[in-house]
Structure 1
Amino acid sequence: MNWSYLFKHWFGTLIISPFVYELFNLMKVNSNRVIGLVEIYPITFIFSLIFSIPTYIIYGFIYYFLARNEVSIMKSKIILLLFTVLSILLTFHIVFNARELTISISYAVTSIILGIYFKLNFKESK
């Protein structure tokens, strides 16, 4: 089984999302933040990695189930993206109590874009 989609999607989301968050903040007229996620990027990455582990463990089980049952690539991507976005929103709601909506949206948008962009192939290429 080819697990590269899972890891590209996971780490791509973790690496790019802080920059998307900064872009969202640039578009705000009254941004009164003191420090952004990019300024503390290593800490942001480590905390994002830690908080995303439960999501991606379950994601891995879903990925495995979809591959074993030969669900179509399109349906598999939709299921995986829906699960990821809902998990991101739930995690940020639990951790930040819905105070940081822009961060959760930036992670969700990044996850959707990367999930669509990366090629999903359950079988190993030879």
Structure 2
Amino acid sequence: MDWGYIFKYWIVTLVLAPILSQIIKDMGIIHRDKTIGLFEMFPEALQAGMMLSLPTLLLYLFVYHIAERSTLKTIWVKLIVILWTTIGICLTLYLLDSGLILPIGSYYIIASAVCGLLLKMKRIPKEEVDCDNT
């Protein structure tokens, strides 16, 4: 499996979510007073996102390691990673303040789904993995 996928997925999700929140705020899709524009404070949002997402990153590194050894198709591995990311986002924001799940978590969940599905994951044939482990 492509371990670079996980780190690209993590970084691009953390960068895309503030941009997405600003676009939605500026377009007025949701009431402007109820939408948080995270891009206005991008360095702080990126730093906070990195710190708060470390436990989730460790969790889906573990899940990815298990999935790497399985015979699951790539799309299923991607969906599992997206699911664990969504659970991690919701759990982290719930522990901080449950009121943050909808106004902030929704952008990170959308960004993680987009990144997870669009980023390419290289799959190493099982024979090559077995040869490397012996």
Same fold (TM over 0.5): yes
Instruction: Provide the residue aligned with 1:85 in structure 2.
Output: 86
Aligned residues: 124
Question: For the Cα contact (< 8 Å) 2:19–2:39, is it kept in 1?
Answer: yes
Residue 10 of structure 1 pairs with residue 10 of structure 2: yes
Give, in whole Å, the separation in 2 of the partners of 1:51 and 1:76.
23
Q: Which runs of no fewer than 5 residues in structure 2 stay unpaired?
A: 126-134
Q: Aligned with 1:40: secondary structure? A: helix
Partner of residue 22, structure 2: 22
> How far does the alpha carbon of each residue in 1:36-79 deviate from its partner, in whole angstroms, 9 at most, with x for none?
32121111111000000000101001001000123221211111
- Given that residues 86 and 109 in structure 2 are in contact (C-alpha distance below 8 angstroms), is that contact kept between their aligned partners in structure 1? yes
Give the structure-1-normalised TM-score: 0.86
Please say if residues 21 and 37 of structure 1, whose CA atoms lie closer than 8 Å, have aligned partners that are also in contact: yes
- TM (norm. structure 2) is 0.82
The answer to which structure, 1 or 2, has the higher relative contact order (CA under 8 A, 6+ apart) is 1
CA RMSD of aligned residues (A): 2.2
Which ranges in structure 1 are unaligned for 5 or more consecutive residues?
A: none
Residues 53-92 of structure 1: matches in 2 within 5 Å? 53-92=54-93
Q: What fraction of aligned residue pairs are identical, expressed as a percent?
A: 28
* Higher CA-based Rg: 2
Which structure dedicates a bigger proportion of its chain to helix? 2
Aligned to 2:47: 46
